[in-house]
Structure formats: C-alpha cells, structure tokens
Chain A
Amino acid sequence: GNSVTQMEGPVTLSEEAFLTINCTYTATGYPSLFWYVQYPGEGLQLLLKATKADDKGSNKGFEATYRKETTSFHLEKGSVQVSDSAVYFCALSTIKAAGNKLTFGGGTRVLVKP
C-alpha cells in the first residue's frame, strides 16, 4: 500500500533561518505529491504540488522537487518568517477508480521564533 514518512517535529527555528522538512514515500505506480499546510486553528491548504518525476513545486518561497530515484519530496524554504509557523503535511495520491484518495504523512510542526 501507499505510505508517507516525514520527519517528526517540532522544528524550532529563528526567523530567516533555512527550513528543510524531509518526506519520503512508498507507492504503487506514479503518484502525485503534495505539501499541505495547517495554520493554527485553520483547515488544510495546499502549499505546493508536483505530478511527475523531476517536477519542482513552489509557492510562497517554499520549494519541493519530486525525486523518483530516492522516492522523496523534501520541503525547503531559504528564509522563514514567524508567519510560517504551522503544521506541514506531505501527501500523495494515486489515481484509482475509487477516486483521488490522499495518503498523508504524520505532519511536522514548525515554530519560527522572532
């Protein structure tokens, strides 16, 4: 079956520091990969996505590259802000007859301090 493994948090950083959150996956076929973000008290929002190998998703200064050879989709940001404090979820989907079911990693809480 499909599974997603991401680094455990919490990750505590100072403002303007470099952020990396590791994500690896196991899937049958060729999944699409996603990073979702959950700000305090809010629902999930799509941060970025990649649908095929070597694609790079980017948004709000965050980037992640779909690496088929290492089955990874690590999230990076060069200079974090306090407003980036949130929980980040790596996820994948495989197109099935039953629909686009998402499989999530465990989530990584990031806390950015001024």
Chain B
Amino acid sequence: SAVISQKPSRDICQRGTSLTIQCQVDSQVTMMFWYRQQPGQSLTLIATANQGSEATYESGFVIDKFPISRPNLTFSTLTVSNMSPEDSSIYLCSVWAWNTEAFFGQGTRLTVV
C-alpha cells in the first residue's frame, strides 16, 4: 500500500489569498494526482503531476490558478491562488500503487471567506 500525508488538513482563508497544500508519499511514485471535491459533489481531477516536467491539467483547470510543483518522486504541492468562495472544497492527493489501485490522502478541507 501507499501512505499519503497531506497538510494542512483544513484551513479557513481570506478571499484573494493563496494556499499551498503539501502531499507526501511514503514511496517513490511516477505520477501524483490532484483532485477537487466540491461540497456534496464527486471528485474531479485537477491535474497530473509528473516529476521533472510540468503538470498536465484537465479541461477547466489552469496553471495560473492551480500551480503545482513536483520536486521529487515522493512529494508534490498544489497551490490554490487568488482564492474566492467558489474554491471552497476538499482537495485530495492520490497515487497509484503497482498500477492496480489508487490511494488517497485524507484531503485538505478549504473554506474561503
């Protein structure tokens, strides 16, 4: 299995500010995935983070709003920039183990006021 630690677990932020979420995995993985879960909704993939290259963003998500870093094979950060109340969501980091199963972090519950 893969153990994923996300920080912070929750935060309340002022609109217009930015928050950086950290994701640490206990093993080396090629790809890390960032998802958003809006209140009462399902999960939507934001981007795929590859070590040594730029992240690949899904339709509707842009790098200026959600910059991602991937400095090594066990760590990634997602920044939510210039936040508005519509960004209030749970943000989850995910990795695949042995190409057969996805593991998720506990999530970061963000509230923008």
Contact = CB atoms under 8 A, between A and B. Distances in A.
Binding between chains A and B: yes
A42 interface: yes
A103 to B, nearest CB: 8
Given A44-B104, A49-B101, A89-B42, A98 B56 contact: yes
B57 to A, nearest CB: 11
A102 interface: yes
A89 B43 contact: yes
B48 A98 contact: yes
A104 B44 CA distance: 7
Given A42-B106, A43-B107, A44-B92, A102 B45 contact: yes
Main DSSP-derived SS at the B contact region: strand
Contacts of B45: 101-103
Contacts of B42: 89, 104-107
Contacts of A103: 45
Interface in A29-52: 32, 34, 36, 42-46, 49, 51
Q: Using C-beta atoms within 8 Å of the partner chain, give the interface range for chain B.
A: 20 to 34
A45 B105 CA distance: 9
B106 A100 contact: no
B33 A99 contact: yes
A66 to B, nearest CB: 15
B93 to A, nearest CB: 9
Interface in B29-52: 30-31, 33, 41-45, 48
A45 B107 CA distance: 12
B35 to A, nearest CB: 8
Interface of A: 32, 34, 36, 42-46, 49, 51, 89, 93, 95, 98-107
The 5 closest A-B pairs by CB, nearest first: A99-B31, A43-B106, A44-B104, A104-B42, A104-B43
Interface of B: 30-31, 33, 41-45, 48, 56, 92, 94, 96, 99-107
7 contacts: A43-B107, A95-B99, A98-B48, A100-B96, A102-B43, A103-B45, A106-B41
